[in-house]
């Protein structure tokens, strides 16, 4: 019996090589469209997806042979987890593979933000020599508030330890962990807020104007989690009012720039025109090392479920 796996995005070749060694027939099709996946999914025992394909009811109903769905990365919002479970389809992700990369990127963005590095670079390239205007802030001595404490937040906390900072972490669903704190304490003490939330119905737009207004001190904000946990228009208001000193965003509400509606275009224009906001195009976790690690994690987990 042919055991076929479909890989729909570009991944490190060791995943395909390992699966083929285990006897799978692997269709590696990183250029495939979501619509094309629907046409052929009935033939596969497993599928590896990233963000292009949504494994929802439409796909899962057609996937008559499907036993597992793998997410290359951390975000499980691309899978209808409840529907998959009801259909005895195993779903899993690979946050262990890119957690260090995300943590390092978050640190880089935060240090850049505190010290006006990108802003000063742009000014100097324009032959503007501004020292006092770009006087920075040291990370040492700051209190860092982490919202959610999964793989990436733990990795971020680990590399922050060398900076003589105080770490407070809030996670509604994870009791008794290192750096555990209440949300109230984060509101009272934090100088920096770093978001590590998954995107769920509960967390969608959790970080809104009321949330940002709850901090006792003005804060710097870093979001390397999911764009829709933070309401852009509310962030912009908080920045303009001084509640947020500066923000570093690697993720956005709508990451398909060609499909922005008028409101989204206005918000994006406001983001890119504000020197207090640092932007990168969802590349936290996007390293050569994490590409290999994600493939290694997925291969290990696929092998584990074959033993069940």
Q: Which residues are catalytic?
A: 226, 255, 282
Which of the 8 DSSP states describes residue 152? Answer: H
Q: At 230, which helix (H) or strand (E)? A: none
- Exposure string of 282-301, with b = 16+ CB inside 10 Å and e = fewer, is eebbbbeebbbbbbbbbbeb
Helix segments in the chain, DSSP class H: 13-21, 34-40, 57-62, 81-86, 95-114, 117-125, 151-160, 183-189, 209-212, 232-240, 262-272, 288-306
Cα(66)–Cα(156) distance, rounded to whole angstroms?
35
Separation of CA 68 from chain center? 22
Cα(257)–Cα(267) distance, rounded to whole angstroms?
12
Which of helix, strand or coil describes residue 49?
Answer: strand
Q: Which two tokens stand for residue 147?
A: 């919202």
Dihedral angle over CA of 144, 180, 164, 134, nearest 10: 0
Q: Which two tokens stand for residue 14?
A: 């060791």
CA nearest 169: which of 189, 187, 151, 186? 186
């Amino acid at each position: 019996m042919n055991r076929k796996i479909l890989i729909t995005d570009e991944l490190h070749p060791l995943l395909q090589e390992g699966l083929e060694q285990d006897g799978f027939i692997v269709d590696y099709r990183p250029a495939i469209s979501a619509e094309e996946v629907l046409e052929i999914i009935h033939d596969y025992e497993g599928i590896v997806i990233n963000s292009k394909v949504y494994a929802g009811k439409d796909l899962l109903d057609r996937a008559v042979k499907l036993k597992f769905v793998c997410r290359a990365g951390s975000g499980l919002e691309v899978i209808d987890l409840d529907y998959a479970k009801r259909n005895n389809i195993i779903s899993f992700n690979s946050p262990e593979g890119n957690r260090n990369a995300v943590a390092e990127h978050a640190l880089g963005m935060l240090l850049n933000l505190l010290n006006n590095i990108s802003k000063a670079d742009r000014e100097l390239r324009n032959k503007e020599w501004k020292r006092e205007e770009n006087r920075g802030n040291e990370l040492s001595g700051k209190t860092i508030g982490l919202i959610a404490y999964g793989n990436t937040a733990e990795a971020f906390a680990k590399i922050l330890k060398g900076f003589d900072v105080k770490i407070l972490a809030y996670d509604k669903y994870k009791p008794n962990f290192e750096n555990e704190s209440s949300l109230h304490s984060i509101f009272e003490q934090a100088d920096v807020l770093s978001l590590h939330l998954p995107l769920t119905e509960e967390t969608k737009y959790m970080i809104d104007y009321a949330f940002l207004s709850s901090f006792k001190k003005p804060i710097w904000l870093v979001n390397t989690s999911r764009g829709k946990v933070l309401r852009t228009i509310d962030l912009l208001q908080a920045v303009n009012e001084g509640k947020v000193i500066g923000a570093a965003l690697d993720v956005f509400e709508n990451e398909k720039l060609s499909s922005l509606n008028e409101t989204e275009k206005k918000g994006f224009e406001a983001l890119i025109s504000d020197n207090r906001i640092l932007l990168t195009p969802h590349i936290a976790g996007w390293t050569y090392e994490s590409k290999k690690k994600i493939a290694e994690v997925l291969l290990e987990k696929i092998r584990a479920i074959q033993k069940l």
